[in-house]
Amino acid sequence: MTEAADQQVGSAVEPVQQPSDPWGRSLYFHENVDWHPAVRELSEQFGLAIIDVVRFRDETTIHVESEYLRQVCDYLRTHEELSFNILTDLTAVDMLRLRTNPRFDVVVLLYSLKNRVRLRIKAGVDDGEPVPSLTPLWRGADWLEREAYDMFGIVFEGHPNLRRILLQDDWDEGFPLRKDYPLRGWKEYPTYNTERTVARTRTRWTGRGV
């Protein structure tokens, strides 16, 4: 390729124009996810602890190493510009048969009042692997983490009172929201009142009241 052709090709490639305002609200939804302020700041601050970033329908999910979950959330909460100061929800997902490991995703949903945007943080953990509790950051994480423990068996390290919240304390049949949990539980229970004492009556909808 000649020198003139090289110059022609170079002139055809337009340089990437950097945003004038690095904290602009539009950057949270920009097609270039690297311009997302939270992604940019977390990548600079935590480096390899940021595993992946997923953008789907203007929703951004940041996958982090589980041991850095509390540090990442604290950074997002206290950062003057990002200010993700509200914990909307905390839950978990059993990824059984969707990937080999880690089996579970701890999902943290955050909201920034200042910027009016939401952000999802995910941390993968294996069965029995502890994840840092977020109760030192948000008191509201208390019952949310207890529910995740009750339903999935995820252990939150540093939680002040990690025990079941929906099932009784002496429940010994595992964790009902795991995908390998039997529909009727692990135990066999006797069935009572197998004979119907009231005849089934067939009814017909008349459409009245619509």
87-111 per-position pLDDT tens digit: 999 999 999 999 999 999 999 999 9
- Let me know: does 131 contact 154? Beta carbons within 8 Å: yes
6-56 per-position pLDDT tens digit: 555 444 545 556 778 889 999 999 999 999 999 999 999 999 999 999 999
Q: Is residue 192 part of a domain?
A: no
Q: For residue 113, give its domain range.
A: 20-157
Q: What residue has token string 């305002």? A: 21
Q: What residue has token string 């979950």? A: 69
Q: What pLDDT, on the 0 to 100 scale, is given for residue 210?
A: 43
1 or 46, which is more confident? 46
Q: How many domains does the chain have?
A: 1
Burial environment of residue 134 by CB neighbours within 10 A (0 to 12, 13 to 18, 19 or more): buried
Q: Is residue 209 part of a domain?
A: no
Q: What pLDDT, on the 0 to 100 scale, is given for residue 88?
A: 97
Q: What pLDDT, on the 0 to 100 scale, is given for residue 145?
A: 98
Burial environment of residue 110 by CB neighbours within 10 A (0 to 12, 13 to 18, 19 or more): buried
Q: Is the pLDDT of residue 205 over 80?
A: no
Q: Is residue 200 part of a domain?
A: no
Q: Is residue 171 part of a domain?
A: no
Q: What pLDDT, on the 0 to 100 scale, is given for residue 21?
A: 85
Q: What pLDDT, on the 0 to 100 scale, is given for residue 116?
A: 96
Record the pTM: 0.81
Residue 72: CATH number of its domain: 3.30.460.80
Q: Is residue 67 part of a domain?
A: yes
Q: What Cα–Cα distance (Å) separates residue 115 from each residue in 59, 62, 70, 85, 195? A: 14, 18, 21, 11, 61
Q: Is residue 1 part of a domain?
A: no
Q: Is residue 10 part of a domain?
A: no
Q: What pLDDT, on the 0 to 100 scale, is given for residue 15?
A: 55
142-201 per-position pLDDT tens digit: 999 999 999 999 999 999 999 999 999 988 889 999 999 888 777 766 666 666 555 555
Q: What pLDDT, on the 0 to 100 scale, is given for residue 86?
A: 97
Q: Is residue 123 part of a domain?
A: yes
